[in-house]
Amino acid sequence: MSIATDTGASARPILSLRGISMTFGGVRALKNVSFEVMPGEVHCLAGENGSGKSTLIKVVSGVYTPAPGAEIVFDGETLTRMTPVMAQEKGIQIIWQDLALFPEMSVAENIAFQSLSGPRMRLVDYSAIRRIARNALSRLGVMLDVERPLKDFAIAQRQIVAIARALVGEARVVFMDEPTASLTQSETDHLLAIVRTLSASGVAVVLVSHRLAEVLAISSRITVLRDGALVGVYPVAGMTQSGITELMTGRSFDERVRAREVTKNPVVLSVAHLSRPREFEDISFDLRRGETLGVTGLLGAGRTELALTLFGMRKPSAGSITLEGRPVRFSSNRDAIAAGIAYLSEDRLSLGLNQPQSIADNLVMASLDRILKRGLIASDRKRSLVARWIADLGIRIGLQEDAISTLSGGNQQRVAIAKWLATDPKVLILDAPTVGVDVGARAGIFEIVARLAEAGLAIIRISDEVPEVYLNADRIIHMKKGRIAGWHDPRATTLKALEAAVYA
């Protein structure tokens, strides 16, 4: 259900940007872009990675100064320039994907920190800090223990703390950069309800998200950028996910069900009555050669916990795991890797890759034994292995020695996949493989995974995004509260029926 917002001629934009251009090292990141937001509107800023979204937000927040000729108008006032201090004073708040919070500090301190900082030294009034925090949270209809350290809370609660901090700053326009990228569906629904609360109170929200279903559910208008240029501004009414995708990328994508008949293929991995206290119970399934087995479910379903157990990171309390007909027991993930099981973590930034290290170092991290010569890393073997997988997965890079952080989210994810393929696995477990990846890059990852399955690799694909599993798995396990709640064949059911079962 879209939010109805009056964007008629009588309404004046709270924020307007006109003729915004930015150039970095000869590359035009923004090309004469215009953008506006109405009071109380939920507005989507859409585009692939590299389209200019982040650059535009940094212009709005005063981090970047656009080329001469640009115009920024806030609440009717034309500004010759914008600085970070001016942006905050006017109520422009940015909630970046990394949230920029302080894990060791309390919830209250994180929320009230900005409002109580200043040039003069003064005693800290902790009662005032707690009062400010509770008032901000109450505006969102949320109750949290404001005295607990932020590190005690999950990412969904941290998002709420970041939004509450923005409200303390008298926010009038809030930009949210991928706020649901690391959230489950139930957490996402809660966050979107909070966005609706902000909108109803008159705060304009600009949402940057690769999850197009939520964009359609909550936005009133969509501004689309492509290669630094404005494609257009569109009402949500009548718009579809495929329509947004085509506007963002300039091309269409095949969204057919990929399920294939795999029941005659030999079993690679067999799990029987696997259990782990308070995480999952009595899990049994067979995974066949060339099969993509989808695993979906809501928060607390036990999906990731099951994956970590299959990867040797956790030990089951009961049940058995059989790999190619031989019972296996893993004492660590090293045992699992040696046996032929690979696991792509859902947290690419902190667990899947080492951001300061090079592309090459990240890619060979799990397969060092393949590039050793007399106990030392052979540079020629390393370069050859890296070049092979970069070519096979179509990874766009500058130099192998460049830091992995220089790549887009989609290309980083391809490197993470390549890291595990280089180990020559029998089973590849993909946990939320498209989190934080834009729609065009997602399609490329879908194609890679489909190609791997067709080549005979057995794949377990975990995701709480039901359409992604439905379109890209041969069979689907629905987990609920640590148990298997149902099995689904995408060829014999509809997406609507599957979603109804998962969200029931």
Q: If we measure between CA atoms, which residue out of 222, 221, 152, 217 comes closest to residue 191?
A: 217
DSSP-assigned letters across all residues of 156-193: HHHHHHHHHHHHHTT-SEEEEESTTTT--HHHHHHHHH
**In a shared domain, residues 142 and 157:** yes
**The model scores a pTM over 0.75:** no
Last residue of a domain, one of 170, 193, 223: 170
Count the helix, strand and coil residues of the chain and give each as a percent rounded to the nearest 5. Answer: 35, 25, 40
> Mind spelling out the 3-state secondary structure of 394-427?
CCCCCCCCCEHHHCCHHHHHHHHHHHHHCCCCCE
Residue 329 lies in a domain: yes
Residue 82 placed within a domain: no
Looking at 170, 197, 220, the residue that finishes a domain is 170
| Domain assignment present for 212 | no
Domain count, the chain: 3
Supply the range of the domain harboring residue 319. Answer: 265-340+425-504
Written as six digits, the tokens of 38 are 């109405």
Of 399, 424, 449, which closes a domain? 424
How many Å apart are CA 498 and CA 448, to the nearest integer?
A: 25
Instruction: Give the three-state DSSP class for 92.
Output: strand
Using an 8 Å Cβ cutoff, are 146 and 133 in contact? yes
Coil, strand, or helix at residue 19?
Answer: strand
Quote the CA–CA distance of 433 and 347 in Å, as a whole number: 9
Q: How many whole angstroms from its chain centre is CA 287? A: 27
The first and second tokens of residue 501, run together, are 């079962």
List per-residue pLDDT tens for the chain, 504 residues long: 333 344 444 479 999 999 999 998 777 889 999 999 999 999 999 987 778 898 999 999 999 999 999 999 999 999 878 999 999 899 999 988 777 888 899 999 999 877 666 666 667 788 888 999 998 888 888 889 999 999 888 878 888 888 888 888 788 999 998 887 667 667 788 888 889 999 999 999 999 987 788 889 999 999 999 989 999 999 999 898 878 888 988 877 667 899 999 999 999 999 999 999 999 999 999 999 999 999 998 777 899 999 999 999 999 999 999 999 999 999 999 999 999 999 998 776 667 788 889 999 999 999 998 888 888 888 999 999 999 999 999 888 889 999 998 887 788 889 999 999 999 999 999 998 887 676 777 788 888 999 999 999 999 999 888 888 999 999 999 999 999 999 999 999 998 899 888 877
CA–CA gap between residue 139 and residue 134 (Å, rounded): 9
Phi-psi region of 427 (alpha: psi -120 to 50; beta: other; left: phi over 0): beta
- Which residue do the tokens 């359609």 mark? 216
In a domain, 420, yes or no: yes
